[in-house]
Amino acid sequence: MIVFNITSPDTGITCELQQKIDNLTKPKGSLGTLETLAMQIGLIQQTLSPSLRKPVNIIFAADHGIADEGVSKSPKEVTRQMISNFLDGGAGICFLARQHGFQLKVVDAGVDYVFSPDPRIINHKIRKGTRNFLHESAMTISEMELALQYGADLVTECHHNGSNIISFGEMGIANTAASSMWMTCLTDIPLPDCVGAGSGLDDEGVRHKQQVLQAALDNYKGDHSVLNVMRYFGGYEMVMAVGGMLRAAELKMVILVDGFIMTNCVLAASKLYPEVLSYCIYGHCGDESGHKKLLEILHATPLLHLGLRLGEGTGAICAYPIVDSAVRMINRMHSFSKASVTKYF
């Protein structure tokens, strides 16, 4: 099993950072969340002049065996069709990545389809979709370990190429079902509070989804450890994201967190290494049922409330300009002394 060496940021420069923020030409605290973000990023990077370099969004794509139980409105083939849409630049994440200067990486983590060789697809296919967790574990121990390693290695590559801020997205029909299982098992929040409409189920569809997931939970005979829950109910794309998040924290990168599925990946990562939370900035609170409760469990304050529930990393990248503004604030605003302005607080 891959081991990570993650430490919380050294707080030794907290007073200096706060002093710099407080001495910018503004009333103390008047830039609110921007000041909080500047402090967090300064601590992550251990500098009074933080920077954001070469942002990357990695999309992990994989299929889920539980999709065979009709828990999603969308058919399984949408996963591989969306891969083509990502490559053609036509997906929601694509225009946002272009708008905000993110490099987009697309990873086949386990799509139930054989793609023609294409250098734009990172081939880390573990299997053509997970097994159906209604009846058996979604993946083997070795498959889970490989997924963690693949996710970590991709982030290492991004870091070596100069990136210090990263977000993760996903594509996988039925992965809200898998995420709901992680949520209920790792938080003890009742399953009905964790299950939502996913890609657009109606009320009857949500009831069916909940019934299937309850049956899967009743059939589960595992030990309820974090790794066992991840393996039994997870998707390859989700486990790769966990590995990526843990490596990003180990490398002291800023992690922009997307919606319900990626927040569940943070939850799982934090159960393994609580220190990962210091590196996370939560992009938004989405409309998927359970996301708000999950953020509360993590004591997380999302930057945006836009009614998003697309995934792919869209909510994380939408929030990036706010993070960028925080860094520009601490670096580009004048101090009272430099501006020859009398302190007015």
**At 73, which CATH number?**
3.40.50.10210
Q: pLDDT (tens digit, 9 = 90+) per residue, 93-152?
A: 999 999 999 999 999 999 999 999 999 999 999 999 999 999 999 999 999 999 999 999
Q: Are residues 192 and 242 in the same domain?
A: yes
**Sign, CA torsion 193/198/200/205:** negative
pLDDT at 343: 83
Q: Are residues 21 and 145 in the same domain?
A: no
Q: Are residues 30 and 72 in the same domain?
A: no
pLDDT at 342: 87
Residue 1 included in any domain: no
Q: Are residues 151 and 286 in the same domain?
A: yes
Contact predicate 245/278, CB 8 Å = no
Q: Are residues 38 and 184 in the same domain?
A: no
Active-site pick, 143, 250, 288, 312: 312
Active-site residue 312, yes or no? yes
Q: Are residues 139 and 30 in the same domain?
A: no
Contact predicate 34/98, CB 8 Å = no
Q: Are residues 148 and 248 in the same domain?
A: yes
Residue 236 included in any domain: yes
Residue 3 included in any domain: no
Rounded Cα distance between 244 and 263, Å, is: 13
Q: Are residues 33 and 151 in the same domain?
A: no
Domain span at 161: 56-322
pLDDT at 169: 97
Q: Are residues 20 and 89 in the same domain?
A: no
Q: Are residues 117 and 36 in the same domain?
A: no
**pLDDT < 50 regions, the chain:** none
* Count of other CB atoms within 10 angstroms of residue 229: 20
Q: 284-289 long-range CB contacts below 8 Å, 24 or more apart?
A: 284/258, 284/259, 284/308, 284/315, 284/316, 284/318, 284/319, 286/259, 286/260, 286/315, 287/196, 288/176, 288/196, 288/197, 288/198, 288/259, 288/260, 289/193, 289/194, 289/195, 289/196, 289/197
Q: What is the pTM of this model?
A: 0.96
Burial code (b: 16+ CB inside 10 Å, e: under 16) for 211-226 equals ebbeebbeebeeeeeb
Residue 26 included in any domain: yes
Q: Are residues 69 and 29 in the same domain?
A: no
Q: How many domains does the chain have?
A: 2
Question: For residue 103, which of 59, 61, 170, 55 has the smallest C-alpha distance?
Answer: 55
Residue 345 included in any domain: no
Residue 103 included in any domain: yes
Residue 2 included in any domain: no
Residue 93 included in any domain: yes
Domain harbouring 28, CATH code: 1.10.1610.10
Q: Are residues 29 and 72 in the same domain?
A: no
